Structure 1
Amino acid sequence: MTTKTMNSNRIVKQIIGSFLLVLQLILSSHQEAVAQPFSPSAQVSLLTFGSGEELYSVFGHTAIRIYDPTQNIDRTYGWGGFRFAENNFYLKFLRGTLPYYIDAYEMYVMMYAYQAENRTIREQVLNLSPGQKQQLFTVLATNMLPENRTYQYKFFYDNCATRPRDVIAKACGDSLMMPSRSRMTGKSYRDWMNDYLGEKAWAKLGMNLAIGQPADEQTDGWHAMYLPENVYDQMAQAKLKQASGQVVPLVARDQTLFTAAKTFPHELPFILDPNVVFTLFGIIVALFTARRYQAGKVDRWLDRWLFGIVGFLGWFLFLLWVGTDHGVTAWNPTLFYMMPLHLPLIYWATSSKTTSRRRTTYFSLTALLILLGMIFSKVPGGFDVVFPLTLLIRCIVNIQMVRRGYQTPARVA
């Protein structure tokens, strides 16, 4: 079978899977969320879905499966749904106010959809008592009520992985014992996130630029469970104290329902890697600056263009801080070298009527902020060094010693 044929078959499967999901959503919307009594053969499972190729799916997914063959129930519940038809979708998405939903799907529909995306599906059958199973199903049914179905998604704190964790913890109550719950992992939220973004270099750079100091908080076992894989690992170590006093593993049985086929990673060409791009850009700017400076000239247009773009990006990051509700974009040290006020202050500092003192003051303060940004910012890779150094070079050639008789390069527009 040719690669072209395989890709075509995959696209067809994805289309069919999407259609089934939509159909199931329509059907489930007409079903009354009633916590019907379970039969003795009922079981509750935690489903963990592997990473997908698209950015939104790269962190995986978690769902709860309710299986009762006696009553012909085999349904999954997940908290990862959102609606593209939502009013002001992109604005709400950027502001962190987009409502997310709990959705229920028949197991065969969920299986088909994730198989079509070539994503591994693992199941952990939970060792719950009949009362705990019923309690969990009651919580799910309550969540499915129209007034309870939506929630405000927060990537690190309240998402499709933390919600199933919380439902299981609520159903088990004090009988649930997680030895690793309060044990420090040695990783921050940012560290865990970056583990999944290795092959998506530009997305990794963008997300790290956008998040601030809250993302650098060190996580314990409980808070690390914002990622599905960590939920899987922590549940595998958890214990359950039964009514008789006996302590048993929370997971009664662990099985893989579908194993994704191995694929070759889509490696980014070396020349397009962000570190390479910004290194080459920095070298070009440095060489151009040195040559023009030797000729007695420092170009205003380059400073306006460079710091104007930086200021524009700085305003975007600042608005993510003060104008959104993500919870992790505050206190962003990247703003030291991507200062929003570069736009419009760069024009104030490089106008034809600007004095040497004004220009020197502006670029001296800017150089200090850039150095602070290089110290405190935690963007991985070389961007946090190369790009600030590029800006610093432009600052240095613009700083003039303001004293009588000192010869300075002429400024050209």
Structure 2
Amino acid sequence: MKKNLLLLFLLLCLIPAKAQYRLSDEAQISILTAAPSDDEVYTLYGHTAIRVKDSLYKLDTVFNYGIFDFSKPNFIYRFTKGETDYKLAAYNFSHYIIEYQMRGSEVTEQVLNLTPEEINKIWNALIVNAQPENAVYRYNFFFDNCATRPVAIVEEQVNGKVKYNNPPEPQTFRDLINYCTRNNSWLTFGCDLALGSPTDRIATPHEMMFLPAYLKDEFEKATIVNPDGSERKLIKQTNRLSEELINDTNTTKEWFTPMLCSMIIFLLVLSITFVEWKRKTYFRLVDCILFFLAGVAGTVLFFLCFISTHPCVRPNWSIVWLQPFDLIAVILFAVKKFRKAAYYYHFINFAALTLLLAGWYFIPQHLNIAFIPLVATLWLRSGYGIYRWRAHI
């Protein structure tokens, strides 16, 4: 194994990018698909890698486009801004598979039905990609990730054209990712909040392959149209390399969901507002806390919409009810001499939220149903703010 790793290291570091290194006729290339798991957020969507195996040269290498480093400076900021850099790494297959075996994730291998010439073209393209000056790329969740890169390599290097047959049922990008997060309602809530109306566009069958599971399914049905017009299957053999281990501890159903949390907040604020109305008083701290939290969330949404380079985040209708101006409103609520300005703010906010709630199902964006109690909470407080001004409370 050490000898094989040394050979690979020499190939990647010493061979010029334009050099050609030929594999034997026994070589094969396959697509490795790791099934989604609930271990981490980034494992919920599955993973794709490319395996190159040549028994004659005792070579068994995995090319993985999904390598990133949490410890890099400003990682969270760069991720939020859409400037996360991933890189291609090549390492021994045994190191790759043991990680998924220990995690209990299913790994499927699809051996590509390629000619020796095509195998060597893909191999040399991978070698070029893995050069230090080429290995790093700007990650894009939907359009440039660990699954889309292997698709592009295969499509570019085969002698002919890859033809995808029997396309899947039409789905939006949001449908696709929400299916992956279906067991994590809080993550679904967060994705629905952060992703704007472009996410509700129907993805093309080719675009669906940003998810490894769809790549696997589409490759299984695909054929290669040769230059002479004949066709051959893209996949010649499928192997199960690792079995999924069922973990009963991860199957517990969530009880504290976003909807429950939102309803608790709404009912609590409704009760407080009722007490205020009965006593003809005003608990200023309630508005300060609510609108401060809404303002912080609105600032994050504003950053995603207008500063980040993430795809599918703009426009986002959630910014109607979560906006940075709510932070300014906190000052208006806290200082009595700004009482008139606070009234005008409540009036504008009340009108905007009324229109949002009235047109909820006509908005060209899927809004999570758990948003409704939160929108209603802010609507209620602005409504009471208007009432207080007119009642001189």
Do they fold alike, i.e. is TM over 0.5? Answer: yes
The CA deviation at 1:369 is: 2.4
Unaligned 5+ segments in structure 1 are 1-19
Counterpart CA distance in 2 for 1:98 and 1:132 is 32
2:369 equivalent to 1:385: no
Whether the aligned pair in 2 keeps the contact of 1:359 and 1:399 (CA below 8 Å) is: no
Residue in 1 that maps onto 2:247:
263
Counterpart CA distance in 2 for 1:225 and 1:372 is 38
What is the aligned counterpart of 1:351 among 316, 335, 346?
A: 335
The CA deviation at 1:61 is: 0.3
Residue in 1 that maps onto 2:219:
235
Question: Cα 1:173–1:350, aligned 2, differ >3 Å: closer, same or farther?
Answer: farther
**Equivalent pairs: percent with the same residue?**
25
Whether the aligned pair in 2 keeps the contact of 1:185 and 1:220 (CA below 8 Å) is: no
Residue in 2 that maps onto 1:302:
286
Unaligned 5+ segments in structure 2 are none
Residue in 2 that maps onto 1:87:
73
2:158 equivalent to 1:172: yes
Residue type at the aligned position of 2:210: Y
Aligned pairs for 1:161-200 (under 5 A) are 161-172=147-158, 174-179=160-165, 185-200=169-184
Residue in 2 that maps onto 1:285:
269
Aligned pairs for 1:4-403 (under 5 A) are 31-32=11-12, 34=15, 35-52=20-37, 53-172=39-158, 174-179=160-165, 185-242=169-226, 245-264=229-248, 265-267=250-252, 269-270=254-255, 272-348=256-332, 351-356=335-340, 358-374=341-357, 375=360, 376=363, 378-380=366-368, 382-400=369-387
How many residues matched? 379
Q: Secondary structure at the match of 1:86?
A: coil
The CA deviation at 1:298 is: 3.0
TM-score, normalising length: structure 2: 0.89
Counterpart CA distance in 2 for 1:28 and 1:201 is 43
Counterpart CA distance in 1 for 2:275 and 2:130 is 67
Greater CA drift, 115-124 or 291-300? 291-300
The CA deviation at 1:104 is: 0.8
Counterpart CA distance in 2 for 1:135 and 1:385 is 54
Greater CA drift, 170-179 or 327-336? 170-179
The CA deviation at 1:45 is: 0.6
Whether the aligned pair in 2 keeps the contact of 1:378 and 1:384 (CA below 8 Å) is: no
The CA deviation at 1:114 is: 0.9
Deviations 1:351-373 (A, max 9, x none): 312355x4443212112322454
Counterpart CA distance in 2 for 1:329 and 1:175 is 33
Counterpart CA distance in 1 for 2:205 and 2:245 is 30
The CA deviation at 1:236 is: 0.9
Counterpart CA distance in 2 for 1:216 and 1:289 is 36
Residue in 2 that maps onto 1:10:
none
The CA deviation at 1:326 is: 1.7
Whether the aligned pair in 2 keeps the contact of 1:209 and 1:379 (CA below 8 Å) is: yes
Whether the aligned pair in 1 keeps the contact of 2:284 and 2:333 (CA below 8 Å) is: no
Residue type at the aligned position of 1:111: I
Q: Secondary structure at the match of 2:158?
A: helix
The CA deviation at 1:184 is: 7.5
Whether the aligned pair in 1 keeps the contact of 2:142 and 2:210 (CA below 8 Å) is: yes
TM-score, normalising length: structure 1: 0.85
Question: Cα 1:276–1:131, aligned 2, differ >3 Å: closer, same or farther?
Answer: same
Whether the aligned pair in 2 keeps the contact of 1:122 and 1:256 (CA below 8 Å) is: yes
The CA deviation at 1:252 is: 0.6
Counterpart CA distance in 2 for 1:69 and 1:269 is 48
The CA deviation at 1:329 is: 2.3
Greater CA drift, 25-34 or 215-224? 25-34
Whether the aligned pair in 1 keeps the contact of 2:159 and 2:227 (CA below 8 Å) is: no
Question: Cα 1:370–1:30, aligned 2, differ >3 Å: closer, same or farther?
Answer: farther
